[in-house]
Structure 1
Amino acid sequence: MILYRKLAIQTIIYSIGFIFPRIINYIFLKFFTLFFKREEFSLYTDMYALSFIVIGFLSFGLENTYFRFLYKKNYNKEIVFSTGVIIQLLISSFFLIISISLIRYLSSIAGYHNHPEYFLMFFLIIFFDTICILPMAWLRANDKPLQYSAINIVNVLIQLFIIMYLFFCSNNFFCKKTYFFFIFQWISSFTDKIGYIFFSNMIASLSNLFLVLPIILKQVTIKKFNKILAINMVNYSVPIMLGTIAFSINENLDKILIKRWISDEINGSYSACYKIASFMSLYIRIFRLGIEPFFFKKSKDSDAIYYYEEITYIFVLFGLIFYVLACGNIHVLMKFLMDKKYHLAIPIIPIIMMGNLFLGVYTNLSIFYKIIDKPIIGTYISLIGLLITFLFNAIFIYDNSFMIPAWGTFTSYGVMLIVLYIWGKKNFIKFCNKKIRNIIIHFLFALFIVFMTKKEMRLGIFFQISYLIIIFLLEKKRFINLMK
């Protein structure tokens, strides 16, 4: 019970540090959809889609690798951290040198020959962010959720301030009278209003690096770099990195292709609605921040399977409640979070959200192949998911409907979850059949409620309240134990 309480407190603190920046991001979403045309918003999302695929490679799976080697008895924690950071620094520095030297060529290939400054800013963002990955993981591993959350909050506040300053400075008479107006003039001399967003992100990422720099300077030294450990970490991380790249392509290929094969206007609507569907990713990430280090710590305990099983069940339960409430009130949310001209792609939201929930369950179950040092299993499964995504996008070429990529995301993550469970049940996943049956019933019940809410919108509140009451009655004992 004490372990649960500590886990809950840490997850709440992590949630604050994670939710606050995302709330600001959703404020940005409302602001950007009001301020930008759909084709302009498409450029903004396209740059981030391309960068996430690059980050999937550069992160090199070292966060998971760090947690795995940290809790192995035969490795010193300080040596693991130093070795990991030095590997990350070498990879990121090599990337920065190569990418800047090829900047005009790369921007031209991507269709941004008039805006090489976008790529320069993104290369720096990626460099700063990847260097920060392991120091931020160190904070989680050392039970410092307050510091972790504070850094995230400071980061987004810096970004918010710079964006507001740049967007409103040009038309503000009083701003022009300040000493800082020359900064605005300098930034405006080399980029446009879309570039303002990237510039603010770059400064925020640099600030993040400065905030974690004391950890790096204090904990990392060349003397603590272990060559044999480095080889073992790289061998462990490569399959995770390949899986991460596959996931990044799964998550972003649709937006990249819709922009280039249909239009920027459609991609703007699709990308904006996709961000609303990312509510589910928000829930998954919060859960993972508190739970993942705990999973690795428990891996050697005799009761580890029980905890994994119970926590995954609770994850599904709350995920489905979140799904029903979000999808049941989607039109209300859309009014607050997005301008009307972007509402075209609303039908993708329930599909993408359920796909993301599949991915969340998959992420929880993936702990089993990580703790037995077989991350290659995740690589194979991710490649299966990637193949499904490519097949759906091949269909999309012939039928330019943005619903096809959405169903591709849903199917890809659903198949990945099923394959992992079937594979894992024969080897390492030992969940009891009763809980699996209950989980399937919960999924079907939640989908039924969302369907009925969509069909009879006037009765939406009634269906949602009924759902919550029934779930509470069915899982009353578990909820009471969790509260205790």
Structure 2
Amino acid sequence: MSVAKKLASQTAVYGVSSIVGRVLTYLLVPVYTAYFAAAEYGIVTALYAYVSFLNVVFTYGMETTFFRFANQAGTDRRELYGRVLSLLLVSSVGLTALLVLLAGPLLGLLDIPAGHEGYAVWVALILGLDALAAIPFARLRLENKARKFATIKLANIVLNVVLNLFFIVLCPAVMSGKWLPALQPLVARVYDPSIGVGYVFLSNLVASGFTLLLLWRELLDFRFRLNLAPLRPLLKYAYPLMLMGLAGMVNETLDRILLPKWLPDNFYPGQSSLTAVGIYGACYKLSIFMSLVIQAFRYAAEPFFFAQSTEKNSPATFAMVLKWFTLCCVVIFVGISLNVEDFGQLFLRRPEYLQGLVVVPVLLLANLFLGMYYNLSVWFKLTDKTYYGTYIGAGGAVLTIALNFLLIPVLGYLGCAIATLVCYFTMAVLCWRLGEHHFPVPYPVRRLGLWLLGASAVVALGWGVQVEDWWARHAWHAGLTVVFLMALWLIERPKAVKPVVV
């Protein structure tokens, strides 16, 4: 099997859990937007923005560090596994306890009313449990146990979805007498209507605990070894990755934290700042189709890149991977952007959410550049110059904060989306330019640039030409999509190799 086919097969297995799991999770968006007002969903969006940020703090780059040191000659992988997991166990317990103590002030920062401190406590426990599962999951990836990895991840998501549907849909319907009134005494024992949107976090917490149970084999193979001397080289390699990850989370999630702070009063007439956050967060979910491809690719690509680093033709392999990854993402960008009206009406169940659909094409393109950045960042991971990733990420974070400060008061949540796009584009370009000097790879930059410009032009044309009639508008968008796909196929399809006549 060629290296490309190996990566594709691994990505496909990881992709099944990622795509199916994300689709199942995404099916909750219509539930949330139907049962929760935008202001309530704003609480979920804001708290999970902090979760994404704090996930980096809880794992502090140890997954990539584990891959790097496990692939070094002479490394005892079991010993390394014990040391890394021991370190994460101690730090996760300490950080979780700290967040539980700070539950009240954390909610105050988000302007969430007092009395909901349980939300922050549950979030802290979720972070701790997920951090403990990170290294066992990394071990499964290292050992190419993609099927087990995918199965456990999918089980986590299925349980989370089922619990959400039980507490948010079924229990209220039973208690109101709409469905199965005979079950009211049983449901009353486990359901408290005052928790409300908190069941989103409680369901996640139960699913995270269940995930650790499914990883029992990997956890039983763990021996506590907390010796700081052997850990120093790991921490030295990891801390730039943590800083890079923190900068990345600033770029990815800070807009949902800053939006309610910097949005002028009555910018959206009759809507609170948490309502704006809820609308933006719900529409952000529509970029999930790009995100899930990137996530599936990252699961397979990180160990793949390290394994291929010693091969003679690795630069050509990396260039080929970037090309086809980018072209696949370009198709998603065009297809979703031109048909976002249908996706919005399907998944966003209240009209108040639909006004934010304008951010979706911008966020899709932004995530495309983020995926390219993950591809291009292979050079500083393979050359042990991870501090360059910190510099790039920090520069992106500064740019994100500055652009949000300038654009939110003028454009609202559209300003957040534009800031994200500019940030990820700049990071990808910087990473490519620096990589040219330290680890040259023959990336087809000009060709990919033309495809990105062409895709952006097609999307701009689809949005710019306003067609009032529903059928004519959909025919126009579908026609543009088909024309672009045909052009891509005709130009990039694999060329047949002519047989040699002897």
Per the alignment, residue 442 of structure 2 pairs with 431
Per the alignment, residue 309 of structure 1 pairs with 319
CA contact (8 A) 2:318 2:441 kept: no
Report the more deviating stretch, 368-377 or 469-478: 469-478
Letter in 2 for 1:222: F
Tell me how far 1:400 sits from its aligned partner.
5.5
- Corresponding residue to 1:351 among 345, 362, 366: 362
Equivalent-residue separation in structure 1 for 2:204 and 2:186 (angstroms)? 19
- 1:327-383 Cα offsets, whole Å, 9 max, x none, are 121111112111232011111111111111111101111111001111110000001
CA contact (8 A) 1:42 1:259 kept: no
Per the alignment, residue 147 of structure 1 pairs with 148
CA contact (8 A) 2:362 2:417 kept: yes
- 1:7-60 Cα offsets, whole Å, 9 max, x none, are 322221111111111111111001111111111111111110112111121110
The answer to which structure has the higher helix fraction is 1
CA contact (8 A) 2:290 2:333 kept: yes
Per the alignment, residue 173 of structure 2 pairs with 171
Equivalent-residue separation in structure 2 for 1:159 and 1:398 (angstroms)? 36
Equivalent-residue separation in structure 1 for 2:99 and 2:233 (angstroms)? 28
CA contact (8 A) 1:169 1:184 kept: no
CA contact (8 A) 1:80 1:229 kept: no
Q: Is 1:216 the counterpart of 2:219 in the alignment?
A: yes
Per the alignment, residue 393 of structure 2 pairs with 382
Equivalences for residues 223-262 of structure 1 within 5 A: 227-262=228-263
Report the more deviating stretch, 295-304 or 102-111: 102-111
Equivalent-residue separation in structure 1 for 2:252 and 2:372 (angstroms)? 16
Letter in 1 for 2:172: S
Instruction: Please tell me the root mean square deviation across aligned C-alpha atoms, in Å.
Output: 1.9
Equivalent-residue separation in structure 2 for 1:12 and 1:5 (angstroms)? 10
3-state SS, counterpart of residue 9 of structure 2: helix
Tell me how far 1:139 sits from its aligned partner.
1.0
- CA gap of 1:109–1:264, structure 2 versus 1, over 3 A, is closer
3-state SS, counterpart of residue 477 of structure 1: coil
Equivalences for residues 38-437 of structure 1 within 5 A: 38-112=38-112, 113-167=114-168, 168-172=170-174, 173=177, 174=180, 177=183, 180-181=186-187, 183-185=189-191, 187-188=192-193, 192-218=195-221, 220-222=222-224, 227-262=228-263, 263-339=273-349, 340-396=351-407, 398-399=409-410, 401-431=412-442, 435-437=444-446
Letter in 2 for 1:259: P
- CA gap of 1:148–1:180, structure 2 versus 1, over 3 A, is farther
CA contact (8 A) 1:175 1:181 kept: no
Equivalent-residue separation in structure 2 for 1:261 and 1:171 (angstroms)? 38
Tell me how far 1:142 sits from its aligned partner.
0.8
Q: How high is the TM-score relative to the length of structure 2?
A: 0.90
Report the more deviating stretch, 375-384 or 322-331: 322-331
3-state SS, counterpart of residue 74 of structure 1: coil
Equivalent-residue separation in structure 1 for 2:107 and 2:484 (angstroms)? 50
Letter in 1 for 2:332: F
- CA gap of 1:386–1:176, structure 2 versus 1, over 3 A, is farther
CA contact (8 A) 1:79 1:226 kept: no
- CA gap of 1:449–1:237, structure 2 versus 1, over 3 A, is same
Q: Structure 1: 5+ residue runs without aligned partners? A: none
Q: Structure 2: 5+ residue runs without aligned partners? A: 264-272, 466-472, 498-502
3-state SS, counterpart of residue 345 of structure 1: coil
3-state SS, counterpart of residue 310 of structure 2: coil
- CA gap of 1:199–1:438, structure 2 versus 1, over 3 A, is same
Equivalent-residue separation in structure 2 for 1:345 and 1:467 (angstroms)? 26
3-state SS, counterpart of residue 373 of structure 1: coil
Report the more deviating stretch, 173-182 or 440-449: 173-182
- CA gap of 1:29–1:479, structure 2 versus 1, over 3 A, is farther
Report the more deviating stretch, 83-92 or 171-180: 171-180
Tell me how far 1:154 sits from its aligned partner.
1.1
Equivalent-residue separation in structure 1 for 2:206 and 2:249 (angstroms)? 24
3-state SS, counterpart of residue 114 of structure 1: coil
Equivalent-residue separation in structure 1 for 2:495 and 2:382 (angstroms)? 27
Tell me how far 1:211 sits from its aligned partner.
1.1
- CA gap of 1:198–1:175, structure 2 versus 1, over 3 A, is farther
Letter in 1 for 2:107: S
- CA gap of 1:8–1:330, structure 2 versus 1, over 3 A, is same
Letter in 2 for 1:164: L
Report the more deviating stretch, 92-101 or 242-251: 92-101
Letter in 2 for 1:454: W
Equivalent-residue separation in structure 1 for 2:78 and 2:496 (angstroms)? 39
CA contact (8 A) 1:170 1:176 kept: no
CA contact (8 A) 1:421 1:429 kept: no
Paired positions, count:
473
Letter in 1 for 2:100: I
Tell me how far 1:180 sits from its aligned partner.
4.4
CA contact (8 A) 2:345 2:354 kept: no
- CA gap of 1:8–1:410, structure 2 versus 1, over 3 A, is same
Report the more deviating stretch, 64-73 or 198-207: 64-73
- 1:102-140 Cα offsets, whole Å, 9 max, x none, are 333433344333211001100100000111111111111
